[in-house]
Amino acid sequence: MLDAALCVVRRDLLLAWRRKSDVATALLFFVIVASLFPLGIGAEPNLLRGIAPGVIWVAALLSSMLSLARLFAADHADGTLEQMLLGASPLGVIAAAKTIAHWIISGLPLVLIAPLIAVQYDLPAALYPVLALSLLLGTPVLSLIGAIGAALTLGLRGGGILLSLLVLPLYVPVLILGAGSVEMASAGMGGEGQLLLLAALLVAACAFAPWAIAAALRISME
Amino acid sequence: MNWFWYASPQTFYPLAGRMAPWFGFAAALLAAAGLYVGFFVAPTDAQQGEVYRVIFIHVPAAWLSMFIYLVMAGWAALGLAFNTRLSGMMASALAPTGALFTFIALWTGSLWGRPTWGTYWVWDARLTSELVLLFLYLGFIALQAAIDDPRRADRAGALLAIVGVVNVPIIYFSVKWWNTLHQGASVSLKSAPTMAATMFAGMILMAFAFWMYAIAVTLVRVRCIIREREG
């Protein structure tokens, strides 16, 4: 079972490695969206410091959502997904493995590059760890919830835009807690409460989402 | 009585046809009574003046908007568990009514907020979670509309509704914790209502009127869906 999961993760990472531009586009999107805000609302440092956590989190949300449509599409197109459904290992495990790979490809780079955006927004250096930690806890939840939507919209016309309609409302708690933790920390009150709640969301999502993703895949593939 | 007898669209269709007018009639009667009590009997509020009367529409619509989502998810779960065709049809018949009530709750709320809070919209916990609820309804409707095969549409919608219902409390508490300006609930099961008895009566009458309306409209809509699919 674990072998199958590891195999899927390794395969998806290898595929991403062979086509690096796909990974780079999502990351570039994150950087560009985050850089657009100062152009739109002005470069006043205090204003930027105030909006930085929210902007970075919204950009992370959108960037993680953009790459969701690709999560199952290629496997669906060439029939691999069908074989995974028929295979001996539980579909939930495979779904979890694919989601982990998606997070490593699309979530982890955001965590690593976020401090760079934080520099653009003149956030105090003391906040970088909180920002990175909140993204580290929050982006896997985004991948897990998003994978449910990706599985449900598999092969539908207008899938991408429909996916955003389904998934974005469900992202609201992650956004609030993630951006909130950085804001609390910048107000000097410590963001531990939000970070713990984010961790709780992550645990709950890890427990239930693979199950829902597997059910959604079965519905879409029957 | 064998309840599963009516789980088949063929047997439910005539039953729904017979029940719908009665629920519609009850809705009209209750709405007339509720509006009369609300506009002519209930006293003017000491603090808010006449504008408070919007609660006779606003509060029942808000209640129903949440309740219908629960009922919809319940039908969805039934449909996934028993694989009955009618459950999915009921869920998709309920969604537009739920979305309508959510919209009415938001709209009347903003009309009330303008004179009372001085603004049409605030990013308050209840308003925001009601807005997210509207998005959830619209997502459900959009997903079902995008899938051509009705059975897949039912099952996909069912899963989405269940995921949504798990998320609604999380969304509510996260938003509540984020920001709160809305007045606390005036009516709760634990304590006596903090409003005049006639106001409370008008609100309850209107809530039942909305409820009956929702049932009547859903029955009519489910009849249309049965006709469309079962031909």
pLDDT tens column, A160-211: 788 989 999 999 889 988 988 888 888 877 778 889 999 999 999 999 999 9
- The alpha-carbon gap from A149 to the nearest alpha carbon of chain B, in Å, equals 8
- The alpha-carbon gap from B223 to the nearest alpha carbon of chain A, in Å, equals 25
Nearest alpha-carbon partner for B22 in B210, B205, B209, B212: B212
A189 touches chain B (CB under 8 A): no
B68 exposure class (CB count in 10 Å sphere: 0-12, 13-18, 19+): buried
Nearest CB to B146; choose among A157, A172, A201: A157
| Tens digits of residue pLDDT in A110-148 | 999 988 888 888 888 888 889 999 999 999 999 999 999
A205 touches chain B (CB under 8 A): no
Answer whether residue B122 shows pLDDT above 70.
yes
Nearest alpha-carbon partner for A75 in A147, A167, A163: A147
Rg of chain B on CA atoms, in Å: 19
Contacts of B174 in chain A (CB under 8 A): 172-173, 176-177, 197
A214: closest chain B residue by CA = B159
Residue A184: CB atoms within 10 A of its CB come to 18
Distance, CA of B127 to CA of B125 (rounded, Å): 6
Answer whether residue B191 shows pLDDT above 70.
no
Six token digits for residue B216: 């009547």
Length of chain A: 222
**Average model confidence (pLDDT) for chain A?**
89
**Average model confidence (pLDDT) for chain B?**
85
Look up tokens 């809509």; give the residue: B221
Look at B48 and B179; give whichever has higher pLDDT: B48
- The alpha-carbon gap from A21 to the nearest alpha carbon of chain B, in Å, equals 30
Distances (CA, A) of B47 to A66, B43, B109, B179: 49, 12, 17, 24
Distance, CA of B100 to CA of A100 (rounded, Å): 38
For the ranges A22-26, B102-106, B160-164, B219-223, the lowest mean pLDDT is seen at A22-26
Cβ atoms of A85 and A214 closer than 8 Å = no
Answer whether residue A102 shows pLDDT above 80.
yes
Q: Looking at chain B from residue 135 to 154, which residues have their Cβ under 8 Å from any Cβ of chain A?
A: 135-136, 138-139, 142-143, 146-147, 152
Q: What is the pTM of this model?
A: 0.88
Look at A93 and A157; give whichever has higher pLDDT: A93
Distance, CA of A58 to CA of A33 (rounded, Å): 9
Answer whether residue B70 shows pLDDT above 80.
yes
- Mean pLDDT, to the nearest integer, of A26-31? 90
B83 touches chain A (CB under 8 A): no
What is the CA angle A12-A166-B104, rounded to 5? 170
Bridge partners of residue B49, in order along the sequence: B45
- The predicted pLDDT at position B189 comes to 46
Answer whether residue B192 shows pLDDT above 60.
no
Six token digits for residue A137: 């806890």
Answer whether residue A50 shows pLDDT above 70.
yes
| Phi, psi for B65 (deg, rounded to 5) | -60, -40
Give the contacts of B203 (CB within 8 A, at least 6 positions apart): B34, B38, B55, B56, B59, B60, B187
Contacts of A157 in chain B (CB under 8 A): 146
